[in-house]
Structure 1
Amino acid sequence: MTVFDYSAGAGLYPCKTINRKSRLGYIRFDSVAEALRFAIEDMPASLLRGSVLEVEEARFDGLQMRKLYEAEAYPLTRRKS
């Protein structure tokens, strides 16, 4: 099993909506953990599906972001739903 580095810097590319009313553009985060927290907890759920998280040379889609956020190794406290 590969150990994932949640402390690495990350770039989040939120999905563009069809009507382009979303004002979210590229956002840079100091850590993957912070980017995942924003994507899952703060960003509208409708944007997650087409969004991309870029970490070094790797890219993660919405489903992969959700799995990383839900992983036992995720270092931040999750918001209660």
Structure 2
Amino acid sequence: MNAPAALYLGSDWQNAREQGSRNFSSVAKAVRFAVEEVPPVSLRGALLVVDGQSLSGDAIHKLYQSADYPFPHKVNRKYRPSWTAKSLQIAH
């Protein structure tokens, strides 16, 4: 998880290759960015290149879920409407 990595993102591999890679100082940082920050459509053609080996979107998710992943997972919060939004919904 400490090796440098190049991350290609796109809706398919051709699109990802055309956009070029984002370089990260570690695999863990690339995985965190791919899973927590990137829209899911961009992971369809994602490819993580580490030491000459390529990992697809599914493998990236597996790394994120592995016990070797060093960062805490991002907490996804559900939308909670404010009091004002609730009162507007009731009025309609």
Q: TM-score, normalised by structure 2?
A: 0.71
- 1:38 CA displacement: 0.3
Specify which of 15, 20, 26 is matched with residue 31 of structure 1: 26
- The number of equivalent residue pairs is 71
| CA–CA separation in structure 2 for the residues paired with 1:39 and 1:76 | 13
Q: Which runs of 5+ in 2 are unaligned?
A: 77-92
Within 2, Cα distance between the matches of 1:31 and 1:12?
Answer: 11
SS at match of 1:50: coil
Overall identity of the aligned pairs, in %:
37
| Greater C-alpha radius of gyration | 2
CA distance in 2, matches of 1:62, 1:46: 11
| Counterpart in the other structure of 2:72 | 77
Distance (Å, rounded) in 2 between the aligned partners of 1:41 and 1:25:
20
Secondary structure of the structure 2 residue equivalent to 1:59: strand
Cα-Cα RMSD: 1.5
5+ unaligned residues in a row in structure 1: which ranges? Answer: 1-5
- 1:62 aligned to 2:57? yes
Q: Which runs of 4+ in 1 moved over 6 A?
A: none
Q: Normalised by the size of structure 1, how large is the TM-score?
A: 0.80
